[in-house]
Amino acid sequence: MSETQNLTLVQAVRDGLATEMELDDDVVALGQDIGANGGVFRATQGLQDEFGDQRVIDTPLAESGIIGSAIGLATGGMKPVPEIQFSGFMYPGFDQIVSHMARYRTRTRSRFSLPMVLRAPYGGGIRAPESHSDSKETFYTHEAGLKVVMPSTPYDTKGLLISAIRDPDPVVFLEPKLIYRAFREEVPTEAYEVPIGEAAVRREGSDVSVFTYGAMTRPTLEAAENLAEEGVDAEVVDLRTVSPMDREAIVESFKKTGRGVVVHEAPQSGGLAGEITALLQEEALVYQEAPIKRVTGFDVPVPLYAMEDYYLPNAARVEDGIREAVEF
């Protein structure tokens, strides 16, 4: 049995990076303040001391330059892992992401690949100012050529990050900063992979299927446990990867329960809840016993400070959504 460490999610990010950098000299990290300062959330703390400033590179504040430089490194055979301080700061580099990062394999008719991982903390709940709390993962799921990973546990974070670094194609790795330090979990010290594109059933159930990912997994599980006391047996499926989604896991869970709820903190319109609902209509309509309920953020900018509590789905809102699906 391998040795383990008791890590928070953000510590698992650091451990995943350090593990792969130790194993593969082609892995480099770059971003604003990630070196001497260890990053805004300290996800890269100590890595520059360990691997030097040629592999852990402090960059200017220029997201398009950070992402563009990483693309250039990847075309040259390196495996860059650029960090953007907040996912809401990725937009100045959007052209690099959609015009080059996502299309390099297609543009070269698969003669070349682009092994890079674009990391960023996403989501609300930490009382941050404007543009620091966005959950806009669907921007990137629309782009063929990008994989989009959104872990919810320390164990999965390390394993998925290692899988992403080893993937020959670009991965957008969105980290739920709300739970960066919310809890700890035993994480193997050795390298291991969690497969990209595979969901995890966090709680078995027979009455209703609840699909979620990232930071919303915890309030969803809390809601499921609360409702179990009322006799409602909810299955909780953590997608872990939102592109490609584990369509088979989603459909199979729904066929078992016939009822569905989707929980995410992103705005409802154009969100992944709609995509999951459409998938279930196409693949499992004859099993459906009630309308699929969406429990999401609202179609407004994430409000500032304490008003976030009214925007983000919490256990109470999830419970209400599950009840609506079950009692229909």
Q: Which residues are catalytic?
A: 132
Q: Say if residues 130 and 154 touch (Cβ distance below 8 Å).
A: no
What is each CA distance from 203 to 186, 229, 230, 256, in whole angstroms? 19, 15, 16, 14
Say which residue the tokens 């709680």 belong to.
203
Among 86, 94, 104, 95, smallest CA distance to 31 is for 86
Q: Distance between CA atoms of 27 and 55, rounded to whole angstroms?
A: 7
Among 179, 199, 186, smallest CA distance to 243 is for 199
What is each CA distance from 302 to 125, 154, 166, 172, 217, in whole angstroms? 10, 26, 34, 21, 19
Question: What one-letter code names the amino acid at 57?
Answer: I
- The helix (run of H) or strand (run of E) holding residue 134 is none
Instruction: Classify 187 as helix, strand or coil.
Output: strand
* R_g of the chain, CA atoms, integer Å: 20
Q: Distance between CA atoms of 35 and 46, rounded to whole angstroms?
A: 8
Q: Distance between CA atoms of 147 and 34, rounded to whole angstroms?
A: 24
Residues found in the chain:
328
